Amino acid sequence: MYRKGIIPHTIFCVLLTAGLFSCKNAADISSLAVTIRLPNEPESLHPIFSKSAYASPIESLILLPIAEYDPISLTLTPLLITKMPVSEMVTEGKHTNGKVFKLEFRPEAEWADGKPVTGEDYLFTFKSIYNPYVNADSWKNFTDFISEIVIDPNDLKKVSVYFDSTYILDFEATTNWNLYPAHIYDPENIMSKFTLEELRASDKVWTAEQDSLLKRFATMYESPAFFRETVSGAGPYELDEWMTGEYIRLKRKQNWWGDKIENPPSLLQAYPTEITYRIILDAAAAEAALKAGEIDLMAEVPASSFKTLSADPDWKDKLQFVTPPLMVVNYLELNNRDSILADPRIRKALAYTLDYDGILNNVMAGLAKRTVGPIHPDRSYYDKELSPLHQDLNKSLALIKEAGWEDTNGNGTPDKIIAGKREELRLSIKLSNKAEGLAIANIVKENAAKAGFDIQLDLVDPGQVQQDLRQHNFQVMPLRMAFFPSPDDPFTLWHSSNDSPGGSNRSGFHTPELDQLIVNLRTSTDAQERAAGYKKFQEIIYAEQPVIFLYVPLERIIASKKIQLQTSSRRPGYFENLLKPAGS
């Protein structure tokens, strides 16, 4: 007969063994080692090539920018340079009537191997972007405004940067990017054989040897070695370990040069001795890890979970809940080229059908605030006189009627003859299966139906969404727009020159008046003139509703009470280098 009890006995032994091995250690916080959840693994830590938004904060801890927007004051603050350059008029030489910015790198600033940060590294970083075989075209178009870079031959720490034309983002173009150490990223010193001028010449014909060198550098520069193995800079941290799919660990440098700076700005302070970014894709698993003390901080907490946890008195004692406003805005992109949406009355009618508070409460659990236009509400030049739209079905119906739409065929949807063809007031919202977008789209569909809009949801592959967005093959699309602390430059999204297939003016909305306004904003140096320009810009967009702005989400961050957290409206809402033990 089969021995009784063997199976339950076996199961008990297995569980007992597992339980014995699984005793967890309490988290040790005295060593300032912090563990942060990373929702997605970046593909590289090479600022010129990395695409993931999660890479940027990590990169900045290793490869420090020359200057960066302070997380608290949101002003451009010198990091690698002694002070912010002042724009000076050029009165002689080839850049006469242009501007020059003179930078001086800090005497203390040095790379991980102790070599000093100099103008040669500055020039190298530029040259690497202009290597014809390096895929950095987006960077080129930002730095194209710089006319020339000259290193002081008597002091390599001093650099003059010339602009022949005025550009609203000249400070940013000069200073707000990560600096690369030339001797580490170009160990064969290839780029020193080329001048910046010849690299930028579009009609330059290279010799076979030069071509071979440029290709060699580009291949090396864009290789996995520099994506994830050799990641080195002047920042307070160095890459200690990167276990694919598991974590990325940074370690604080011993004897870092920034420790010698008196009254350092926020981004030159670095408290944690170790920062581990644990890659946890699933939000529920990340929440469990946070509760269990396996991670110390988690951002992008789903709104409903955030609300539930923050209301639980048990967890309120152990965790801290913060909601800094983020510099992003969620909106509905409308294709103004579409025969139905080309009419501003229809766009406004759609805008008036939406229950904005309902969207905020259902999608974001109330953790968001309304916004009216393409300028972030926290900007000083945000037009507070423009009041957010509210649901007004009567107005919506009146606008639809005024636009000549009427249900002539009795199917419940207004129709109209456009270009000789009967069109129904039918719109399609194209989106991928992201939860937030889906939730918004479903609410829009339900709300808009009350005014007669027949809205269909077109769920497609994320790749298809990108392609259709580029090709302007959509009617309505829920999107998110990111802002940076730098002054807004509406050129990319709103100027007529970008309204072409693949162009960045996705809505297709532009007017000659708006074009001129945008050009003035780009080149004006007068603060009052700029403020007036931004105001006018917002008024035009508000009046025309080429896109429908929904809300500015609040970031949802939960952190252990063992750490002291300082939040910021700069993404991701916190700064790892400023995390300290609670009570310090």
Partner 1 sequence: MMIRSLLRRCLNALALLGVISIIAFYLSKLVPGDEVLDYLSLDDSKYAASVDPLEQRKAYARVAKKRGLDLPLFYLSVLPSSYPDSLFLILPVSDRHTLKKWARSTNKKEAVMDLYRDLQSGLRHACPKADTSDAANQLCQTIRELMNTPDLFSAHHKILRTYHLLSKDSTAPSGTMAILDKFNHHIEQLIRSPQKLKAMEWLPSFYWHGSHNQYHQWMAGFITFRPLTSLIDGRNAWSKIFDALKWTLLLNGLAFILAIILGVLIGLWSGTYDGLKKESVINIILFTLFALPSFWLATLFIYFLSSGEWLSIFPAGGLGPYHGEANFFKKWAVLLTHLTLPVLCLSLGSLAYISRQMKQSVINQFHQPYVLSLRTLGVSEKTILRKHIFKNALFPVITMIGGALPVLLSGSLIIEVIFSIPGMGRLMYTSLVAHDWPVVFPILMFGAAITVLSYILTDIVYKWADPRVKSMET
Q: Which is nearer to partner 1, 251 or 395 (CB)?
A: 251
**Closest separation between CB of residue 223 and partner 1, Å?**
6
Candidates 281, 435, 527, 582: give the one binding partner 1 (CB under 8 A): 281
**Closest separation between CB of residue 213 and partner 1, Å?**
16
Q: Which is nearer to partner 1, 420 or 501 (CB)?
A: 501
Where are the alpha helices (H) located in 331-461, listed in sequence order?
344-353, 356-364, 393-402, 435-449
Q: In this structure, what are the phi and psi dihedrals at residue 10, rounded to the nearest 5 degrees?
A: -60, -45
Q: Which is nearer to partner 1, 86 or 288 (CB)?
A: 288
Spatial CB neighbours of 39, under 8 Å, sequence gap ≥ 6: 54, 280, 281, 283, 286, 300
* Region 105-164 residues binding partner 1, contact defined as CB under 8 A: 132-133, 135, 137-138, 140-142, 144
Are 490 and 498 within 8 A, CB to CB? no
Are 270 and 29 within 8 A, CB to CB? no
What whole-number distance in Å separates Cα of residue 88 and Cα of residue 102? 8
Q: Does 348 bind partner 1 (CB under 8 A)?
A: no
Q: Does 435 bind partner 1 (CB under 8 A)?
A: no
Tell me the torsion sign for CA atoms 431, 435, 439, 442.
positive
Q: Does 381 bind partner 1 (CB under 8 A)?
A: no
Q: For partner 1, which stretch binds (CB under 8 A), given 92-100, 114-122, 237-245, 391-399?
A: 237-245
Q: Which is nearer to partner 1, 56 or 413 (CB)?
A: 56
**Closest separation between CB of residue 169 and partner 1, Å?**
6
* Region 513-552 residues binding partner 1, contact defined as CB under 8 A: none
What whole-number distance in Å separates Cα of residue 537 and Cα of residue 515? 10
Spatial CB neighbours of 166, under 8 Å, sequence gap ≥ 6: 99, 522, 523, 524, 525
**Closest separation between CB of residue 262 and partner 1, Å?**
30
Q: Which is nearer to partner 1, 203 or 262 (CB)?
A: 203
* Region 8-37 residues binding partner 1, contact defined as CB under 8 A: 10-11, 18-19, 21-24
Q: Does 436 bind partner 1 (CB under 8 A)?
A: no
* Region 494-513 residues binding partner 1, contact defined as CB under 8 A: 495-504
Q: Which residue has the tokens 């350092």?
A: 264
* Region 413-432 residues binding partner 1, contact defined as CB under 8 A: none
Spatial CB neighbours of 579, under 8 Å, sequence gap ≥ 6: 32, 34, 271, 272, 296, 297, 563, 564, 565, 566
- Per DSSP, 226 falls in state I
Q: Does 224 bind partner 1 (CB under 8 A)?
A: yes
Q: Does 289 bind partner 1 (CB under 8 A)?
A: yes
Beta pairing class for 33-38 and 274-279: parallel
Q: Does 228 bind partner 1 (CB under 8 A)?
A: yes
Are 205 and 11 within 8 A, CB to CB? no
Q: Does 486 bind partner 1 (CB under 8 A)?
A: yes
Candidates 16, 288, 311, 582: give the one binding partner 1 (CB under 8 A): 288
**Closest separation between CB of residue 461 and partner 1, Å?**
5
Candidates 73, 304, 408, 471: give the one binding partner 1 (CB under 8 A): 471
List, in sequence order, every beta strand (DSSP E) within 206-256.
237-243, 247-252
Q: Which is nearer to partner 1, 280 or 455 (CB)?
A: 280
Cβ count within 10 A of residue 5? 8
* Region 156-215 residues binding partner 1, contact defined as CB under 8 A: 169, 172-173, 176-177, 202
**Closest separation between CB of residue 95 and partner 1, Å?**
16
Are 311 and 70 within 8 A, CB to CB? no
Q: Does 39 bind partner 1 (CB under 8 A)?
A: no
Joined tokens for residue 172: 């940013």
Q: Which is nearer to partner 1, 3 or 384 (CB)?
A: 3
**Closest separation between CB of residue 538 and partner 1, Å?**
19
Q: Does 255 bind partner 1 (CB under 8 A)?
A: no
Helices (H) and strands (E) in the chain, counts: 20, 23
Joined tokens for residue 429: 């919202």
Q: Which is nearer to partner 1, 177 or 542 (CB)?
A: 177
